[in-house]
Amino acid sequence: MRTTIGYLLDRDNKYGGDAVAGAAVQVWRAGQQKLDAGSVPGKAQAEYLATVAEVAEVSGWLLFDAGREAESRAAFLESHMLARHAGDKPMGWFALDILAMHGIEHQRPGESLQIADEILADSKIPPRVALVARIRKARALASAGHRQQSLNEFAVARSAIGDSITTRDPSWTWWVGDRQVSGHEGEALLALGEI
């Protein structure tokens, strides 16, 4: 399954989510069936759960890219649940982050706020995970019409960029930087009708 993840992401880059979402879902479902049947030995279960969680997350992303909203949300929720069962905190945070993004994109700012607050309530999260959660929270606040609170969250996020890089950062936080914070702030101002 891990090899397939790389293949699917490569195909997504070349052909888009529409072309590969179905294949990703098939891989995810096959892995899920093996879990459901109880045929994964106890010794290998945590690693297998984490792998299926990652396949579910990739499936969710490809479904999102393909415009299949309900299916992508279900995949992200499943990814989060599997990551929790596997004890894979970075994948769990990633699934929550993507769920928050999904909520912003599909006009569910209340859900996104709850998710961001859940991430930020964890005192052990790496600083870059907190930074991403602040960006999601700021976007959700803007979507809900809370201008000043949104701008305050962006200010906190921007001030944390320089100190956010640590050895505890999950690999999926690679994209966070000043340009991305500025881009998301622009999207928030657009949502508030200020651009």
Q: Could you give the CA distance from residue 167 to residue 36 in angstroms, rounded to a whole number? A: 35
Going by C-alpha positions, the residue among 56, 45, 116 that lies closest to residue 91 is 56
Which residues span the domain enclosing 42? 1-87
Q: Which of 21, 22, 20, 51 is nearest to 34 (CA)?
A: 51
On whether residue 181 sits in a domain, the answer given is yes
Q: Indicate whether 99 belongs to any domain.
A: no
Give 174's pLDDT tier (boundaries 50, 70, 90).
Answer: confident
Instruction: Give pLDDT tens digits for 91-121.
Output: 999 999 999 999 999 999 999 999 999 999 9
Any domain includes 63 = yes
CA separation (Å) from 170 to 50, 64, 131, 186?
Answer: 14, 22, 12, 26
- Regarding whether 75 and 33 lie in a shared domain, the answer is yes
Inside any domain, residue 94: no
Q: What is the pTM of this model?
A: 0.88
Whether 92 maps to a domain, the answer reads no
pLDDT digits (tens, 9 = 90+) for 61-76: 999 999 999 999 999 9
In tens, the pLDDT along 11-54 reads 999 998 899 999 999 999 999 999 999 888 888 889 999 999 99
Q: How many folded domains does the chain comprise?
A: 2
* 127 and 74 part of one domain: no
Report whether pLDDT(163) > 80: no
- Taking residue 159's Cβ as centre, other Cβ atoms within 10 Å add up to 11
One domain for residues 78 and 154: no
Is residue 117 located within the same domain as residue 78?
no
Per-residue model confidence (pLDDT) at position 70: 95
Considering the domain boundaries, does residue 157 fall inside one?
yes
Last residue of a domain, one of 54, 87, 120: 87
Specify if 167 maps to a domain: yes
| Nearest alpha carbon to residue 47 among 82, 18, 80 | 82
Q: Is the pLDDT of residue 195 over 80?
A: no
Helix, strand, coil percentages (3-state) for the chain, rounded to 5, are 80, 0, 20
What pLDDT score was predicted for residue 42?
A: 83
